[in-house]
Amino acid sequence: MPTIIKQADLIDSVADALQFISYYHPVDFIKALHGAYEREANPAAKDAMAQILINSRMCAMGHRPICQDTGIVTVKVKVGMDVQWDADMGVSDMINEGVRRAYGFADNLLRASILSDPDGARKNTGDNTPAVIHYDIVPGNTVEVHVAAKGGGSEAKSKFAMLNPSDSVVDWVLKMVPQMGAGWCPPGMLGIGIGGTAEKAMLLAKESLLDPIDIQDLQERGASNRAEELRLELYEKVNKLGIGAQGLGGLTTVLDVKVKDYPTHAANKAIAIIPNCAATRHAHFTLDGSGAARQTPPNLDDWPEIAREGGGDVKRVNLDEVTREEAASWKPGDTLLLNGKMLTGRDAAHKKMVDILASGESLPVDLKNRFIYYVGPVDPVREEVVGPAGPTTATRMDKFTRTMLEETGLMGMIGKAERGPVAIDAIRDSKAVYLMAVGGAAYLVAQAIKSSKVLAFPELGMEAVYEFEVEDMPVTVAVDSTGESVHQTGPQIWQAKIEEGAVEVK
């Protein structure tokens, strides 16, 4: 007798798993991150990991998303050949219905980030559908499902190459990782796929990220094949690059490196890297005909209770009164606690503002001597002022930066990860500053936001220009008014310390 799988059971199971992973990190990730936090020697990187761990605990308790980017849903389904469906929808439609319900769940609204017509109108589909779904038809009478919610910042740093058969995989990976910058919110995992064809290597890389973090087990038992040898070698060598948490420099850039391989053509050696960020989110369930699968809540004792060490260098800044002279006194790596009013804006708002300026009209918001935060928050629920509201990748705003600084009098920007040379030149020329908040600590950041109102472009939804009033929002000075960048100096300093043996990577 075939197993009967009901449509409602698959829909409910997908919705349950997506809600679950929006607020619970996998326990293996928490344990690995806590270990890295304890080993970290760079105070700035340690503080970034503290924020991610505190954020994670708050999300697990408050059932709110770990990150404001609640991801694009990726699903891997293994359908048993002896399964029969009690359904009037196709399996992909059922999965997408599960996504729709999860992202619209009123008590924990998730951010709809999916745009249709990607090189055209880029219109939000409104419910985070469609998911990206991969199928395998396998012997058996169950349906096995892995769901993941992949952040756009980490997906953006994916790399692919068709190497020559004699080229070194290790050399290529060590060349690519520094080029990935910090926009993938390290520390996280690298998924590496080798072999097959171009698309197979990418799929292998993505699939490998579904496995639990277990590099310490592998270090103990030793490699038994080439893929495991590569995992060990790359884990050590990537961490020795000194990139560190959030690219600030430090001992841990990756918590694990996964490698999957597949037979390939004699002329080819396809290779793909897909990183998984601080918001690592995935879950697994099996349907066997006995009803919907429910995820089991973790034991919160597995989440360390960490208090941030304020340190003596923390400066409180009043954004309503800050002067350019005061901003010019900040040095890369300084920790600031921001208070007062800031504006928000990201990709779509920047494009609109730059277009308005080009047409000679005036902007709907005066940016003179203000700070703008690159963010697209989650909608609030219950008594929240705003939902999780962590920073988005700043390099996407680089091409707008000179115009924004020179034509509006903007004083500073707050975002995630490094700035590119074009933006750094513009910052130095305008004696502006760039501050970074920790990617992957979105709920923690949101606690600092005491009021929020839309000032311009309401039609852009989460990309509208808001005014936030904040209290003690933690940020780090990433580019100072002379153009010095902590994302350049930090990794250089820590790589040198590691090479000299002054600190040890484990």
Q: Which residues bind ligand SF4 (CB under 6 A)?
A: 67, 69, 151-154, 184-185, 277-279, 390, 439-440
DSSP 186: S
Give the residue with the Cβ less far from ligand SF4, 12 or 69: 69
d(C-alpha 241, C-alpha 253), whole Å: 8
Question: Can you tell me which residue has the tokens 């990730």?
Answer: 29
Residue nearest ligand SF4, Cβ-based? 151
Alpha helices in 270-342 (DSSP H): 324-328
Q: Maximum Cα–Cα distance for the chain, whole Å?
A: 78
Residue closer to ligand SF4 by CB (options 196, 439) is 439
Cα-based distances in Å from 252 to 236, 353, 486, 496, 503: 10, 38, 17, 14, 12
Active site residue 282: no
Question: Considering the complex, what minimum distance in angstroms separates the CB of residue 390 from ligand SF4?
Answer: 6
Q: For ligand SF4, give the closer residue by CB, 153 or 244.
A: 153
Q: Which C-beta is closer to ligand SF4: that of 151 or that of 191?
A: 151
* Least gap, CB of 400 to ligand SF4 (angstroms): 19
Q: Which C-beta is closer to ligand SF4: that of 404 or that of 441?
A: 441
End-to-end CA distance of the chain: 52
Distance between CA atoms of residues 287 and 146, nearest Å: 12
66 vs 427, beta carbon nearer ligand SF4: 66
**Where is 23: in which H helix or E strand?**
helix 7-23
Give me the least distance between CB of 446 and ligand SF4, in Å please.
Answer: 13
Question: Please, which residues have CB within 8 angstroms of residue 425's CB and are 6 or more apart in sequence?
Answer: 402, 483
Strand partners, 190: 257, 275
Question: In the bound complex, what is the minimum distance in angstroms from residue 65's beta carbon to ligand SF4?
Answer: 9
Q: Give min distance, CB of 329 to ligand SF4, in A.
A: 29
- Shortest reach from residue 54's CB to ligand SF4, in Å: 14
Given 25, 146, 282, 350, the catalytic residue = 350
- Taking CA atoms, 79 is separated from 124, 132, 262, 288, in Å, by 31, 16, 22, 11
Residue 304: which of 17, 26, 37 has the closest Cα? 37
Would you say 248 and 208 are in contact if contact means Cβ atoms under 8 Å apart? no
- Residues noted as catalytic: 350
